[in-house]
Amino acid sequence: MGESMKRAFMARYENHITALSDYLEDLPDTDEPFWILGRRYHIKSERPALLLDISSRLWFTYRKKFSPIGGTGPSSDAGWGCMLRCGQMILAQTLVCCHLGREWRWEKDKRQPEPYSRILKCFLDRKDSCYSIHQMAQMGVGEGKSVGEWFGPNTVAQVLKKLALFDEWNTLAVYVSMDNTIVIEDIKKLCKIHHKNKNSTTDTSAQAGAFSYNHIHLHKSRTGRSHAASGYHSIWKPLLLLVPLRLGINHINPVYIESLKECFKMPQSLGVLGGKPNNAYYFIGFVGDELIYLDPHSTQSAIDPESSKVVDDVSYHCQRIPQRMKIVNLDPSVALGFFCKDEKEFDCWCSFVHKDILKKPSFRMFELVQKHPEHWPPFVPPTKPEVSTTGAEFVESADKLFESEEEFEILNA
């Protein structure tokens, strides 16, 4: 059987299984709380609110009949793009929190605020959309993944980090942890943009970061004057924090399960990228010992909004009963996601981590440290390469800014 036939068969099989599983059972009638991205619900009294919250998340699935990736590549991601779609979902949730707020809700046929439409257009299946399947697949080439090859959660995290450099609307700071370690000092370097005060010559450029941190730091070291005394003030860029982890060898180690649950309870939670071998899911919460997830394994036709200014968005919201899986069945390769809109939220997140994740030193999923480890290479916040597009042309230049961590890539989807 040829490769294209195999993928077509897999796509039909996945769609069939998904369709069946959606109707096998309802949500459990339990007294245990449901946690969805930092929000707590009781199914017996808050079922409509729970389902509305879940259906409001942007849902990205396989698509077909889009323009070929790279001009001659595949025109569908069925059978290989599930982790890329999950990466789109966690990033979309980031943008929703940034522009609309965590309390925003979507309802069919209800007029939505302008930023919603703009967020959705970032993910359309077009080569010129900032976070399209085209951009993600081509950027993956720089991470050693051919177009049409399965990604793991760490590769998707690295791809999002690179693509965010070209997103001038959102100006996100994307931090991907290394060696299970999150460095507070590095995150604050990454997120703080330094501008001149109004009574100084103002740098109004929308480019990243505008003024590089190293330039400011050098200025201070040479003059001995603080940023404030030199006429500078700091602005915090919204932070997308991604934490790729291995929580076991072949299966998740049960010692990490309670800490994983705590992550979904944090107000800054964006959920978790992960799944099972050859099947990636976007996990948005849990109830008891089951994870709740959005499944990208349905193939829909691509939407081209050329003829209309308004995108038909119904197919981007899952309105079925959410699916669940036992936490013990989770593949150990995962990537945790968190969003901190400002420095205060990041400081609060650090407090949550110290209180709820690091309280058992022998069972820590990751480390949170104040200072950059001395044995690591110096941390330099990345800047946008001098190129005009976000296609395959800049993969080589952008790749020089980052290092891939292939040890996380056990998950094959």
- Catalytic residue among 53, 295, 331, 399, which? 295
With H, G, I as helix, E, B as strand and everything else as coil, classify residue 96: helix
Structure confidence at residue 243 (pLDDT) = 98
Structure confidence at residue 218 (pLDDT) = 34
> Other CB atoms closer than 10 Å to residue 261's CB: what's the count?
17
Structure confidence at residue 190 (pLDDT) = 96
Query: In this structure, what token pair is assigned to residue 359?
Result: 């309280």
> Could you confirm whether 263 is annotated as catalytic?
no
| pTM of the predicted model as reported, rounded to 2 decimal places | 0.82
Four-residue CA torsion sign, 152, 157, 163, 167:
positive
- Catalytic residue among 53, 82, 86, 134, which? 82
- Specify the amino acid at residue 6: K
Cβ 327 vs Cβ 312: under 8 Å: no
Q: What is the mean pLDDT of each run of 10 residues along the chain (413 residues)?
A: 50 43 64 97 95 97 95 94 97 98 94 94 94 96 90 95 93 95 96 69 40 37 44 83 94 94 97 92 97 96 72 90 94 97 96 89 87 93 65 43 41 42
> Could you confirm whether 109 is annotated as catalytic?
no
Rounded to the nearest 10 degrees, how much is the dihedral formed by the CA atoms of 119, 125, 128, 129? 20
> Could you confirm whether 99 is annotated as catalytic?
no
Cβ 195 vs Cβ 207: under 8 Å: no
- Catalytic residue among 130, 227, 297, 399, which? 297
